[in-house]
Chains A and B, each alone.
Chain A
Amino acid sequence: MKILVCIKQVPDTTEIKINPVTGTLIRDGVPSIMNPDDKGGLEVALRLKDEFGAEVTVITMGPPQADAILREAMAMGADRAILLTDRKFAGADTLATSNAIAGALRCLEWDLIVAGRQAIDGDTAQVGPQIAEHLDIPQISYVADVKFDGKKTFRVKKETEDGYQILEVESPCLFTVLASAVKPRYMSVGGIVDVFDREVEIWTADRISVEEEKLGLKGSPTKVKKAFAKGLKSAGEVHEIEPEEAVNLIISKLKEKFII
């Protein structure tokens, strides 16, 4: 089986502070990490590899520094890594991004594509589903668990707002995975020792067959109107009380605020 995992390098938003005067993000000195949902997706792929044997390829689009997350993925157990990097990709919104990645995926063989549900910097949850649409394959989003019959069929647990669904799908298909689905493994020490001797393939826009108008800023219909910081909520109250007492307290608070 060949599994393609789409990953993204993001600023560690838990480390980001907001400039109280301008309301903008202070990105200086914020470490870059592999997006948590993508790491969950990689773990799902690596577990399928452990159990059934598979070649796991990780792919990302980004600046040359995105090399770091590809190396991390290889030190965790990925077999091959591809970095889509070109000035022509710059300024891409989700559509231009998915066009570029889908273009790259058309040049590769795969039975399964795994992406994270959404990135913690943009929170759109659009790129994975768009890739599936471009490639015209079935997709299941919000995946919390994957079981494979060893042949062609996946049995997938998809989270919904009020529960979950169990769905069956045949390869080729695409999943977008939740970070909470699995605990990602650590890089192995031996993997780290080898990883800087391994190759990260650099693919530029010429390598993929996608029209230039569909890439980067040119291919991005999204226009950002305004960026602003969300207003901070006041600190909550913590009560350590018995459940029955808690119910009464919640009801009285909701009544107090005229919610019920």
Chain B
Amino acid sequence: MNFELNKTQDLFRQMIREFAEKEVKPLAAEIDEQERFPIETVEKMGKLGIMGIPVPKQYGGAGGDNIMYSIAVEELSRVCATTGVIVSAHTSLCVAPILEHGTEEQKNKYVPKLASGEWIGAFGLTEPNAGTDASAQQTTAVADGDEWVLNGNKIFITNAGYAHVYVIFAMTDKSLGTKGISAFIVEKDTPGFTIGKKEMKLGIRGSATCELIFENCRIPKENLLGKIGGGFAIAMKTLDGGRIGIASQALGIAQGAMDETIKYTKERKQFGKSLSSFQNTQFQMADLYTKVEASRLLVRSAAFKKDKGIPYSADAAMCKLFAAETAMEVTTKAVQFHGGYGYTREYPVERMMRDAKITEIYEGTSEVQRMVISAKMFR
């Protein structure tokens, strides 16, 4: 048993913390305010290898592990949750399924450009009538000669519009239920594929969240990802990995709010003494710190199991559930500790509180996580 980061992970943590502080933090308030996708940050991250951390070097990645990837999303989200989710959705939801389920040709065609950040990746599963009930897919894919013809709509797709590569799920045989869902790789600018409405959101406002529209969109036969009918299993497996990313994002948001609150309560004086000297502050903060640290252990444990090839589906669900609810609690209390100032945009904690909420919703709501965890307990 070893709870320490190894030397590589530790050095990486130094590097990503410095990058986040110097390159990401200064933009966080601005991209939130302007609802602007930070494309310049993605370019910088691409050059440094941050867009392909757990990708083997043979496919142009950095050759790192999932613990390093988790640390990256945590540290980025500590200062800017938008930047955290851009990396998380790209890595966990697009690069990972192509790496895990793609043919050698698909991997060679897509992964190096994704891992270098030249291309951004996205994932399209959710539909207007298929949210938590992801099996109710209405998008269809019909074989026609050497092509698949896609029709349907996807909604709430992270990185949409900026992504070059989309992993898309569609029904290839409605009579088979979840066994009739297949996964496809769709490139941007494919005729019949357009980006629809951009959502105006409560938080992570710099991240692009849009509708995808497929109208007789023809893609080559070889863009089927995995086997026909294997799509739902790919989606579920992909989301298991994605949950480690989102849990890391939630953890980062919570840590960021904690750091801001420690700083503020030490400086802010009321009744002639600093807020941090009140036992109410100390006890509440002690509870929050404990929960943040517990989240970190759950996240690291899930990432460790993924790296070791140990089944981690319930672990991923537990770390996401706990880290997301912790992020919501910590950020809400952080605003409270900041009082009136915390409610203003002068301080980052109101943004962190808005950003935290989504971690309880996307890539499986907290309710879905409880379903996954209990299914393992009572099977």
Contact = CB atoms under 8 A, between A and B. Distances in A.
A196 B5 CA distance: 14
Interface stretch (A82-90, A100-108, A184-192): A184-192
Contact of B48 (A71, A189, A194, A195): A189
Contacts of B8: 192-193, 195-196
B183 interface: no
Interface of B is mostly: helix
B48 A75 contact: no
A75 B64 contact: no
Contact of A192 (B11, B18, B61): B11
Contact of B62 (A71, A72, A186, A188): A188
B75 to A, nearest CB: 12
Contacts of B62: 188-190, 192-193
Contacts of A192: 8, 11-12, 15, 62, 64
Interface string A177-209: 000000000111110111110000000000000
Contacts of A196: 7-8
B68 interface: yes
Given A186-B18, A187-B15, A193 B48 contact: no
Interface stretch (B49-57, B193-201, B228-236): B49-57
B11 A195 contact: yes
A75 B57 contact: no
Contacts of A189: 12, 15, 48-50, 52-53, 62, 64, 68
A186 B11 contact: no
Given A193-B64, A196-B8, A186 B15 contact: yes
Interface residues of B, number: 19
Interface in B244-267: none
A186 B19 contact: yes
Nearest to A187: B15
Contacts of B50: 189
B7 A186 contact: no
Nearest to B49: A189
B308 to A, nearest CB: 17
Contact of A190 (B11, B18, B19, B49): B49
Given A189-B48, A189-B62, 18 more contacts: A72-B11, A187-B11, A188-B47, A188-B48, A189-B68, A190-B49, A190-B61, A192-B8, A192-B12, A192-B15, A192-B62, A192-B64, A193-B8, A193-B12, A193-B57, A193-B68, A195-B11, A196-B8
22 contacts: A71-B11, A75-B11, A75-B15, A186-B18, A186-B48, A187-B15, A187-B48, A188-B47, A188-B49, A189-B12, A189-B49, A189-B64, A190-B62, A192-B8, A192-B12, A192-B15, A193-B8, A193-B12, A193-B57, A195-B8, A195-B11, A196-B7
